[in-house]
Amino acid sequence: MILKGFLCISILAVASPASAAEDFIEGVYLQSEDLCAQARKDTLQALIDAGNIVLSARGLQSVEYDCEFLQMTKATLSPSWAVTAICQEPGHVFPDVLSVTQMNAKQIDLVSVRPADDESEASGNSGSYFLCDGVALP
């Protein structure tokens, strides 16, 4: 079932116009506004090294983990995109399909079709991310 959904979204993404990626998210996002303040005070690289996940138009990035966004297809009726990604962690590469929704000017919510592997990984690739004004990728 997941493979069928992945194939449908992949076909839609290939058929979509190139402009779909042009209006995709901009900036750097972290999982809380407190982390944004810490990134402005310290450095974003220090937060990445501590295991925090960073969201940008390129994908998700953390120490020893990343998801590269490959194709973004914009929804017509909501401020959302269907995104295909290739994710990597040590010794493991896997595909993912996510919805990326602009909740407001400062918050983006991700929902992944890939469930978390275990209970310690509460949300896998899903969750809320907050725009960090004044923070740039390393």
What pLDDT is stored for residue 116 in this prediction?
Answer: 62
Q: Quote the pLDDT of residue 97.
A: 96
Per DSSP, the three-state class of 105 is coil
Amino acid sitting at position 36:
C
Question: What is the pLDDT, as a whole number, of residue 95?
Answer: 94
Q: Work out whether strand 54-56 and strand 80-89 pair parallel, antiparallel, or are unpaired.
A: unpaired
Residue 124: per-residue pLDDT: 73
Contact between residue 1 and residue 113 where contact means Cβ atoms under 8 Å apart: no
Cβ-proximal residues to 21 (8 Å cutoff; 6+ apart), any chain: 71, 72
Any idea where the domains of the chain sit in the sequence? 2-10+27-131
**Chain segment 12-62, per-residue pLDDT in tens:** 444 444 444 568 999 999 999 999 999 999 999 999 999 999 999 999 999
Residues 22 and 27: their CA atoms lie apart, in Å, by 13
Q: What is the SS3 assignment for 93? A: strand
pTM of the predicted structure, to 2 decimals? 0.79
> In whole angstroms, how far apart are CA 58 and each of 27, 34, 42, 66?
10, 22, 22, 10
User: 120 or 88, which is more confident?
Assistant: 88
Average pLDDT, rounded, for the chain = 84
Instruction: Using DSSP, state whether 56 is helix, strand or coil.
Output: strand
How far from 41 is each of 34, 47, 54, CA to CA, in Å?
11, 11, 16
